C-alpha cells in the first residue's frame, strides 16, 4: 500500500488533528468558537480554515497542482495576514501538517519505500510553505496598496476640485499623467 | 555581519499565543493596525474639548490631566443617574454569551475582548468596584476591579474597536444595546482628551465649516458644478440646483462624502438628476452641509451641537421639511436623537411629497425623511419613467447599512427601489442581511487608513457573504445607502472579493431614470458604456 493510500484512509483523523493544531494558535475562547460554529457565514474564519486544509490535503495526495493549491492556501492566508500574527505565525500552519502526518503514521512500521514517499511528500509540503510566503506578501502588499489608494483618491479629488491639478489624456499613447499647475492663491 | 540564528534557535518559533491567564490580569498591548492616531490638540481646542494637546497612543505617557480617575468616575456617576438605560445595561447582563460570537471584529479577528459581553465587561468591572456594594467589598471575586492606567488604555483600545453597529444587541435576550456602552466609554475617554485624529478632525471641521471635510461654500458649489458638467455630458441636460435659497420647499442634506469621494459622487449626481426630473422646489445648504455627525463618536453634547445646524438652517431658509441623503449613522442620529436634542421642529410641516401627495407620518415630529422613502413612494405611484435594462451589466446585491437597518428599520424601501431600477438582484444569505446585517467594519470613525488590519478583519464577515453571491450568481456590484459604506466597502472588496464594486442606490436610480429631453445615453454615470453601447456585451 502506498503512502498516499494510507494517508487517504486516515484522512479524516489527520485533518481533524491538523485543524486542531491550527485552532491552537488562537486564544482558547476563540478556538472553541472557530471549531464549533459550523455555519460558514456566522463563522467565516473557522470554515475557511476547515475547507481550505481539506482542499490542500486532497490536492497534495492527488496532483499537487500549484495553481489550485495556491487558491486554497490563499483562502486561509488572506485571513491570517490581517489577524494578529507575525509572518512566521501566519504561515506556520503548513508545517503543522508534517508533524500531523508523522504522528498519524506512528502506529505503522515504515518500509524504506514508504520513507522515500514520505520524504517526497514532506518536500512538497516545504514548497507549499514557500508559496505561502508569496501569498502572505501579496496580501500585505495589497493592504498597503489599499492604504495608499485611499490617501490618493482623497487628496486627488480635492486637488482636482480646487483646480490645483488637471488631468491630461494622451490619446496616442493611451496613458494619463497628472500635470500640476501652480496656481497663485491670491490672484 | 548580522549574527545568523542557529537551526535550533530557528526551531524555537512559538506558533501559539501566550497561555491565557484571566482576562483581567492580561495587560493591554496596543498593536499597530488596530487603532487610529491620537487627536491633535488644535482640533480638540476648536470645540473646547478638555485636555487639548497632541498625543500619541503608542507612547507610555498619554499626558492625562491630574486626577483623571476622579474625572471618569464622576462622569460615570453622572451618566448612571442621567441615563436609565446605561444603569440597566451595567446591571442586567447575565453573561449568557448570546452576543459573544455576533461581533464582526470577534468573528473576523478572534480577539476575545471583542466579544461584546467581554468588551462591556471591561467597563462593568469598574462599575462594580465603585458603584455596587458587592464589588466594593469583594473586589475581583465579584468581578470588580479598580480603574487604573492599564484599564483606561484597555477601554480606549477596545471601545475604539467597536463600530456601534448593534448587531450583538439583536441577539441579546435582555435587549442590551452594547453600542450605548461604547458611547459611554467614548464620552469618558473624550473627557480626558483621548480622541482620535480621524474623529476629532472632522468634528472640528464640522463645527467651524459645517461639514466633516471642512469644505467652504465655494468648494461645495464648485464640486457640485463639476457634477453638473458630468451630468450634462452624459444626458445632454443642464441642471441648475440652488444653494442657500430662502423660501424653498425642501432642504436637502447629505453626507459631505457624497460631494468628494467616489463612488459617493455618483450617488449625489443621482439625487440631483432625480430632483431635476421631478422639478421639485429644493435647495442645498452650504452651511448645513453635512448629514453625518462624527460628534456622535465623541460625546452626546458634541453630537447635539453639530446636529443643531440642520434645524437652524431649515428655520433660516424657511423650508417646509427636509430630505436626507444616503447615510448610515446620520440616520441613527436623525431618527433617534435629533427630535429630543434640538426639536421640536414645529416651524416646519409634516413631510408631504409634492409629486404623489403622500404624507410621511413616520417623520411627523422630526420633519425629515430619507431619500429612499421619497423615491420608493415615487416608484410605487408610477411617477418616474425607468429603463432598468441600462443597469443590465450589473448583478447587484444589497448591503443593509447597520444604522438604517437596525437603527430605523429601513429594510424594504432600498430593496424595492433596486428591484425597480435593475433586473438582476440577488440577496446575500439570511443571517447576514436585514436586522442581522454585518457591519462594513469601519463605522463610528474607524474608517482611517492606519487601522487597515482591523478594518479588514471586521469587514470579513460581510465580504464573505458578498463572495458567496459573487461566486454563486456572478454579483459584481454591492449597493448600499451609507457614505461610509461606499468608501470603506470599496477597500474591503478590493482585499476580499476583487471584481465587486460599490454603489449608492441613487446612482442606480439615475442610470435607469428616463429624463425628459435627454439625449440617447451612451454611458452610465461613471462614464462607462451602457450595456449594448460600445462593446460592453
Cα B390 to Cα B370: distance, rounded to the nearest angstrom: 25
Domain count, chain A: 2
Q: Is B477 helix (H, G, I), strand (E, B) or coil?
A: strand
What is the structure's pLDDT at B361?
96
- Cβ contact, residue pair A43, B222, below 8 Å: no
Please report residues of B whose CB lies closer than 8 A to that of A183.
none
The candidate with the shortest Cα–Cα distance to B534, out of B510, B263, B524, is: B524
Q: Are residues A141 and A151 in the same domain?
A: no
| ipTM rounded to 2 decimals | 0.90
Is A12 among the domain residues? Answer: yes
Is A49 among the domain residues? Answer: yes
CA of B4: how far to CAs of A36, A126, B7, B8, B9, in Å? Answer: 42, 21, 9, 12, 10
Say whether residue B226 is in contact with chain A using an 8 A CB cutoff. Answer: yes
- Cβ contact, residue pair A43, B495, below 8 Å: no
Q: Are residues A133 and A155 in the same domain?
A: no
Q: Are residues A153 and A119 in the same domain?
A: no
Say whether residue B180 is in contact with chain A using an 8 A CB cutoff. Answer: no
Please report residues of A whose CB lies closer than 8 A to that of B223.
161
Residue A151 belongs to what domain range? Answer: 147-180
Q: Are residues A66 and A114 in the same domain?
A: yes
The interaxial angle of helices A11-23 and A28-36, nearest 10 deg, is 140
Q: Decide if A47 contacts A38 (C-beta within 8 A).
A: yes
Cα B23 to Cα B516: distance, rounded to the nearest angstrom: 64
Helix extents (H) in B337-386: 338-342, 371-380
Q: Are residues A44 and A100 in the same domain?
A: yes
Please report residues of A whose CB lies closer than 8 A to that of B440.
none
The candidate with the shortest Cα–Cα distance to A36, out of A21, A46, A24, is: A46
Q: What is the full DSSP assignment across B482-531?
A: -HHHHHHHHHHHHHHSTT-EEEEHHHHHHHHB--TTPPPP-B-TTSPBPT
**Phi/psi of residue B28, nearest 5 degrees:** -75, 140
Minimal C-alpha gap between B383 and chain A (Å): 35
Identity of the residue in B34, B260, B457 whose CB atom sits nearest the CB atom of A161:
B260
Is A187 among the domain residues? Answer: no
What is the structure's pLDDT at B20?
57
pLDDT (mean) for A7-36: 96
What is the structure's pLDDT at A176?
34
Query: CATH code at A68?
Result: 1.10.490
Is A185 among the domain residues? Answer: no
- Cβ contact, residue pair B107, A44, below 8 Å: yes
Could you tell me which residue, B365 or A178, shows the higher pLDDT? B365
Q: Are residues A125 and A50 in the same domain?
A: yes
Say whether residue A79 is in contact with chain B using an 8 A CB cutoff. Answer: yes
What is the structure's pLDDT at B481?
97
CA of B437: how far to CAs of B72, B200, B344, B400, B457, in Å? Answer: 34, 28, 32, 6, 16
Identity of the residue in B101, B262, B432 whose CB atom sits nearest the CB atom of A37:
B101
Q: Are residues A115 and A59 in the same domain?
A: yes
Q: Are residues A171 and A92 in the same domain?
A: no
User: Per-residue confidence of chain B (537 residues) as pLDDT tens digits?
Assistant: 567 777 777 666 665 555 556 778 888 999 999 999 999 999 999 999 999 999 999 999 999 999 999 999 999 999 999 999 999 999 999 999 999 999 999 999 999 999 999 999 999 999 999 999 999 999 999 999 999 999 999 999 999 999 999 999 999 999 999 999 999 999 999 999 999 999 999 999 999 999 998 889 998 998 999 999 999 999 999 999 999 999 999 999 999 989 988 899 999 999 999 999 999 999 999 999 999 999 999 999 999 999 999 999 999 999 999 999 999 999 999 999 999 999 999 999 999 999 999 999 999 999 999 999 999 999 999 999 999 999 999 999 999 999 999 999 999 999 999 999 999 999 999 999 999 999 999 999 999 999 999 999 999 999 999 999 999 999 999 999 999 999 999 999 999 999 999 999 999 999 999 999 999 999 999 999 999 886 544
Is A69 among the domain residues? Answer: yes
Q: Are strands B368-370 and B396-398 parallel, antiparallel or unpaired?
A: unpaired
Is A80 among the domain residues? Answer: yes
Neighbours of B303 (CB within 10 A): 22
Please report residues of B whose CB lies closer than 8 A to that of A133.
none
* Residue A132, pLDDT above cutoff 90: yes
Is A186 among the domain residues? Answer: no
- Cβ contact, residue pair B17, A25, below 8 Å: yes
Q: Are residues A158 and A127 in the same domain?
A: no
* Residue A177, pLDDT above cutoff 80: no
Q: Tell me the pLDDT band of A64, cut-offs 50, 70 and 90.
A: confident
Q: Are residues A93 and A157 in the same domain?
A: no
Residue corresponding to grid cell 448612571: B80
Is A154 among the domain residues? Answer: yes
Specify burial of residue A37 (Cβ count, 10 A radius: 0-12, 13-18, 19+). middle
Q: Are residues A46 and A16 in the same domain?
A: yes
User: Taking all residues of chain A, what is their mean pLDDT, rounded to a whole number?
Assistant: 86
Q: Are residues A19 and A102 in the same domain?
A: yes
Identity of the residue in A78, A83, A154 whose CB atom sits nearest the CB atom of B261:
A154
Distance of CA B21 to the CA centre of its chain: 35
Amino acid at each position: 500500500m502506498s503512502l498516499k493510500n494510507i494517508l487517504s484512509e486516515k484522512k479524516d483523523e489527520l485533518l481533524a488533528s491538523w485543524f486542531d493544531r491550527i485552532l491552537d494558535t488562537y486564544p482558547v475562547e476563540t478556538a472553541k468558537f472557530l471549531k464549533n460554529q459550523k455555519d460558514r457565514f456566522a463563522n467565516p474564519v473557522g470554515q475557511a480554515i476547515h475547507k481550505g486544509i481539506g482542499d490542500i490535503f486532497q490536492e497534495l495526495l492527488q496532483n499537487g497542482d500549484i495553481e489550485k493549491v495556491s487558491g486554497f492556501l490563499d483562502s486561509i492566508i488572506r485571513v491570517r495576514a490581517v489577524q494578529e500574527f507575525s509572518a512566521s505565525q501566519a504561515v506556520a500552519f503548513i508545517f503543522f501538517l508534517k508533524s500531523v502526518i508523522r504522528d498519524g503514521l506512528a502506529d505503522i512500521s515504515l518500509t524504506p519505500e514508504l520513507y522515500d514517499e514520505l520524504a517526497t511528500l514532506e518536500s512538497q509540503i516545504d514548497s507549499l510553505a514557500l508559496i505561502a510566503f508569496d501569498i502572505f506578501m501579496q496580501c500585505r502588499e495589497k493592504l498597503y496598496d489599499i492604504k495608499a489608494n485611499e490617501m490618493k483618491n482623497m487628496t486627488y479629488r480635492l486637488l482636482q476640485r480646487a483646480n490645483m491639478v488637471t488631468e491630461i489624456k494622451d490619446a496616442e499613447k493611451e496613458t494619463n499623467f497628472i500635470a500640476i499647475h501652480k496656481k497663485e492663491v491670491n490672484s | 555581519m548580522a549574527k545568523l540564528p542557529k537551526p535550533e534557535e530557528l526551531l524555537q518559533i512559538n506558533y501559539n499565543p501566550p497561555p491565557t491567564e484571566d482576562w483581567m490580569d492580561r495587560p493591554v498591548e496596543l498593536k499597530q493596525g488596530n487603532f487610529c492616531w491620537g487627536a491633535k490638540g488644535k482640533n480638540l481646542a476648536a470645540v473646547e474639548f478638555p485636555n487639548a494637546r497632541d498625543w500619541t497612543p503608542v507612547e507610555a505617557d498619554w499626558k492625562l490631566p491630574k486626577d483623571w480617575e476622579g474625572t471618569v468616575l464622576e462622569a460615570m456617576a453622572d451618566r448612571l443617574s442621567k441615563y436609565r438605560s446605561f444603569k440597566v445595561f451595567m446591571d442586567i447582563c447575565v453573561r449568557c454569551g448570546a452576543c459573544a460570537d455576533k461581533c464582526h471584529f470577534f468573528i473576523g479577528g478572534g480577539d476575545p475582548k471583542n466579544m461584546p459581553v467581554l468588551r462591556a465587561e471591561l467597563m462593568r468591572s469598574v462599575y462594580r468596584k465603585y458603584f455596587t456594594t458587592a464589588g466594593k467589598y469583594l473586589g475581583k471575586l465579584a468581578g470588580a476591579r479598580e480603574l487604573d492606567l492599564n484599564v483606561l488604555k484597555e477601554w480606549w483600545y477596545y471601545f475604539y474597536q467597536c463600530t456601534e453597529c448593534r448587531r450583538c444587541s439583536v441577539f441579546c435576550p435582555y435587549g442590551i444595546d452594547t453600542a450605548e456602552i461604547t458611547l459611554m466609554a467614548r464620552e469618558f475617554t473624550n473627557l480626558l482628551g483621548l480622541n482620535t485624529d480621524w474623529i476629532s478632525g472632522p468634528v472640528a471641521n464640522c463645527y467651524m465649516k459645517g461639514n466633516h471635510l471642512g469644505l467652504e461654500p465655494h468648494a461645495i458649489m464648485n464640486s457640485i458644478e463639476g457634477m453638473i458638467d458630468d451630468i450634462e455630458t452624459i444626458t445632454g441636460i443642464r441642471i441648475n440646483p440652488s444653494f442657500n435659497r430662502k423660501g424653498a420647499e425642501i432642504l436637502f442634506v447629505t453626507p459631505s462624502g457624497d460631494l468628494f469621494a467616489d463612488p459617493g459622487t455618483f450617488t449625489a449626481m443621482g439625487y440631483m438628476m432625480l430632483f431635476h426630473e421631478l422639478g421639485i422646489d429644493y435647495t442645498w445648504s452650504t452651511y448645513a452641509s453635512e448629514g453625518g455627525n462624527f460628534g456622535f463618536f465623541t460625546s452626546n453634547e458634541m453630537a447635539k451641537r453639530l446636529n443643531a445646524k440642520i434645524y437652524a438652517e431649515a428655520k433660516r431658509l424657511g423650508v417646509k421639511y427636509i430630505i436626507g441623503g444616503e447615510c448610515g449613522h446620520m440616520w441613527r442620529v436623525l431618527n433617534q436623537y435629533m427630535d429630543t436634542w434640538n426639536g421640536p421642529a414645529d416651524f416646519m410641516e409634516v413631510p408631504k411629497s409634492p409629486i404623489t401627495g403622500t404624507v410621511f407620518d413616520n417623520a411627523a415630529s422630526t420633519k425629515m425623511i430619507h431619500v429612499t422613502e421619497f423615491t420608493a413612494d415615487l416608484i410605487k405611484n408610477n411617477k418616474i419613467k425607468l429603463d432598468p435594462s441600462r443597469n443590465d451589466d450589473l448583478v447587484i446585491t444589497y448591503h443593509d447599512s447597520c444604522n438604517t437597518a437596525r437603527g430605523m428599520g429601513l429594510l424594504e424601501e432600498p430593496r424595492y427601489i433596486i428591484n425597480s431600477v435593475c433586473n438582476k438582484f440577488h440577496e446575500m444569505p439570511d443571517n447576514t442581511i436585514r436586522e442581522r446585517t454585518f457591519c462594513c467594519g469601519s463605522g463610528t470613525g474607524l474608517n482611517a487608513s492606519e487601522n487597515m488590519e482591523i478594518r479588514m478583519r471586521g469587514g470579513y464577515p460581510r465580504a464573505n457573504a458578498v463572495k458567496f453571491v459573487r461566486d454563486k450568481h456572478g454579483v459584481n456590484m454591492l449597493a448600499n445607502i451609507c457614505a461610509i459604506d461606499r468608501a470603506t466597502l470599496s477597500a474591503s472588496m478590493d482585499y476580499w472579493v476583487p471584481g465587486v464594486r460599490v454603489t449608492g442606490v441613487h446612482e442606480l436610480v439615475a442610470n435607469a431614470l428616463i429624463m425628459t429631453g435627454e439625449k440617447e445615453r451612451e454611458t452610465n454615470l461613471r462614464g462607462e458604456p451602457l450595456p449594448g453601447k460600445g462593446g460592453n456585451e
